[in-house]
Amino acid sequence: MSTDQLFDVSAEIVVITGVSGQLGGEYAGAFLQRGARVVGLDMRSSSGCDRLATEYSERFLFIAADVTKKISLKQAMLEMEAKFGTPTVLINNAAIDSPPSAPPEENGPFEDYPEESWDRVIDVNLKGVYLCCQVFGAAMAKVGRGSIINVASIYGVVSPDQNLYEYRRKRGEIFYKPVAYSASKSGILNLSRYLSVYWGKKNIRVNSLTIAGVFNNQEQAFLDVYCGRIPIGRMASADEYNGAVLFLASPASRYMTGANLIIDGGWTAI
């Protein structure tokens, strides 16, 4: 198999959740540039999605969908089948977290973390992946082919380093990285392993991709401590995970399933 064939994704029909986000749009563009057909799911479109729809009008389809609602995902499945057919790649990228600017109760001590915040994050980050695997994975199982890529996080492998936020506490804020995001991303790792075994004989590969932080104009005080903690010395650029998803979707990884690919600048090596 030639190098071009090894990484060829031009025949793939790719579903990407959270396509309106920073990384979702990057993944979509990477596949579209290489000839794939892409279905992007999100609650609402973005300017990036609009650009992709204009540039790749025959190969990109945006569908408004809620990953926490199975009926919404089934409707999206019907729409994409009518246009492109059965998906061959699923990238479960949609996720939420409490932003640094969230109310104090969201980023306060663990003992006071709101139950409703836990439910909201777990609902999107873990239940959403489970439902998407049910709907789109089941369609793959019927045709006997597919690659599912579940996007995890370094904070699903190791605990958040609360020392990173000491600079905020020193200036009088009460701030801790919340628990729900870590718990949800940890759950993705074993959900992926479970499905890799369950669907192994159906020719469906299921892997997780563990990523680190992405530069998105964070405040300089945070960048200083974060980049000082990471061996490579900087946050990732938004396009630096594209190679990993292309690899996991392509024939280059055809014997890889049930694995967790870590692309984190060395964060978990410490």
Determine how β-strand 260-263 pairs with β-strand 13-17. Answer: unpaired
What sign results for the dihedral spanned by CA atoms 108, 112, 114, 117? positive
In terms of C-beta density within 10 A (0-12 exposed, 13-18 middle, 19 or more buried), how is residue 258 classed? middle
Q: Scanning the structure block, which residue is given the tokens 């995001």?
A: 181
- Torsion, Cα 167 120 60 244, to 10 degrees, reads 50
Q: Which candidate in 27, 56, 113, 181 is catalytic?
A: 181
Quick count: other Cβ atoms within 10 Å of Cβ 103?
Answer: 10
Q: Please check whether residue 208 is in contact with residue 192, taking contact to mean a CB–CB distance below 8 angstroms.
A: yes
Catalytic residue at 27?
Answer: no
Closest by alpha carbon to 130, among 179, 181, 73, 88?
73
Query: Cα separation of 174 and 52, whole Å?
Result: 41
Burial letters 61-75, b for 16+ CB under 10 A, else e: bbbebbbbeeebbeb
Q: Which positions are annotated as active-site residues?
A: 181
